[in-house]
Structure 1
Amino acid sequence: MTNTKTFGYVRVSDKGQNTDRQDIKMVELGVDERDIFIDKASGKDFDRPQYQALKSVIREGDLIYLDALDRLGRNYDEIKTEWQFITRKLNADIVILENKELFDSRKFKSMGDMGKLMEDQFLSLLAYVAEQERKKLLKRQAEGIAVAKAQGKHLGRPQLNLSTLSKQQRADLEANYQAWKTKEITGVQFMEKLGLKKNSFYKIIGEFEESK
């Protein structure tokens, strides 16, 4: 087989997470940086732009490195479907670095039908573990949210109100309020001076007028 390529697939669950550890592993294995496909998205399904881009360029004989099976995904049925599509339909290969002595599709292929049976069994086990870990994570998140709500903690973005304005915003509010009331400046201009969106602006104006 000629013109085969080596790729790396890297995934973290959200945009705030760092991919450096996985990236470095791929580069150390000799994967060209332009052949490392990186998604910052949940593993709940495979509707990820970089994963789909990787699938579109994989050819027979190519090799794909993954740090761990759960980087491929966390959905039991879809992990098996995607793995078998790449290794059997496209006839490319996958190596899981976390279990590389065991989980290298090239080794299973060299064992014939017995290798296929063993691969399916090991894949089912690891895919099951990956899916269960995601379910545990979601459960912990839900429990944490429930506890926070029970304790009266606000979740999400902090609510803007008169008391949360900065000193500069409060000064700008007091300095320009009368000009806005007499229509010397427009509401849009006043919002821009305060750095507020429409809903927050009128809420804070109402609180300011009540406090006068």
Structure 2
Amino acid sequence: MRIGYGRVSAKDQNPERQLVKFRELGIDERYIFVDKLSGKDFNRPRYQAMRLMIREGDLVYIDALDRLGRDYDGIISEWKYITRELKADIVCLDNETLFDSRKFRTMGDFGKVMEDQFLSLLAYVAEQERKKNRQRQAEGIEVARASGVKFGRKRIEIDEAFIKVYKQWRSGVISATEAMKELNIKHRTFYRRVREYEEELL
């Protein structure tokens, strides 16, 4: 069976380019798995679902090695688990010449040595790129803060209606549930506004 695994780092990023490649290979939509999460570890729901599905003889396609992950040790561990323990194969579409585990498999023990060398090099590069991205992001945030940009959720101005309901709730006239219903807001929003209002009172 052929399986496709795609990943983008954030929810607002589009994995369509990867999905097009999988569809062109004729992979059934049921066997295409996509996560919109960082590659720092492998605790990703769709990746774990795919991992449970893989059987001996299956072929897993990924667009590039860093789509599998960006953690040096994790990439090597997962690659070996899939190819050596599960006895499935992995193909990296952006570099099939080097990263097609079927080719290494035909070379026997020497193939394993070659595969280990290539994996170590590419996994290291993938992890270093993740560290650079994180550093660039942190530097960008610091520059923005220095320029007066504020991060985080915008505080909502506390109006008279909220204050009235707040006082009734604090005095025990109404319950928190009744207060939320009266203001037409949810649990988390209510308590966030309570905290903000009480901070203003200090």
TM-score above 0.5, yes or no: yes
Residue 144 of structure 1 corresponds to 140
When the two chains are superposed, the root-mean-square deviation of aligned CA atoms in Å is 2.8
Residue 210 of structure 1 corresponds to none
User: 1:98 is paired with a residue of what secondary structure?
Assistant: helix
Instruction: Give 2:140's aligned amino acid.
Output: G
User: 2:121 is paired with a residue of what secondary structure?
Assistant: helix
Name stretches of at least 5 consecutive residues in structure 1 with no aligned partner: 163-169, 208-212
Instruction: Give 2:46's aligned amino acid.
Output: Q
Instruction: Give 1:10's aligned amino acid.
Output: G
Count, aligned residues: 189
Q: Tell me the alpha carbon deviations over residues 79-118 of structure 1, each in whole angstroms, 9 at most, x when there is no partner.
A: 0000001001111000000101221000111112221111
Q: TM-score, normalised by structure 2?
A: 0.81
- 1:1-212 matches, cutoff 5 A: 5-161=1-157, 188=179, 191-192=183-184, 197=190, 199-200=192-193
Name stretches of at least 5 consecutive residues in structure 2 with no aligned partner: 169-173
Query: What is the rounded CA distance, in whole Å, between the counterparts of 2:59 and 2:114 in structure 1?
Result: 20
Q: TM-score, normalised by structure 1?
A: 0.78
In structure 2, the CA distance between the partners of 1:93 and 1:200, relative to structure 1 (3 Å rule), is same
Query: What is the rounded CA distance, in whole Å, between the counterparts of 1:60 and 1:22 in structure 2?
Result: 24
Query: What is the rounded CA distance, in whole Å, between the counterparts of 1:202 and 1:113 in structure 2?
Result: 63
Query: What is the rounded CA distance, in whole Å, between the counterparts of 1:77 and 1:35 in structure 2?
Result: 26
Query: What is the rounded CA distance, in whole Å, between the counterparts of 1:37 and 1:13 in structure 2?
Result: 14
Contact between 1:191 and 1:198, CA under 8 Å: does it hold in 2?
Answer: no
Contact between 1:65 and 1:96, CA under 8 Å: does it hold in 2?
Answer: yes
> Whose Rg is larger?
1
Query: What is the rounded CA distance, in whole Å, between the counterparts of 2:9 and 2:193 in structure 1?
Result: 32
Query: What is the rounded CA distance, in whole Å, between the counterparts of 1:108 and 1:44 in structure 2?
Result: 27
Identity percentage of aligned residues: 57
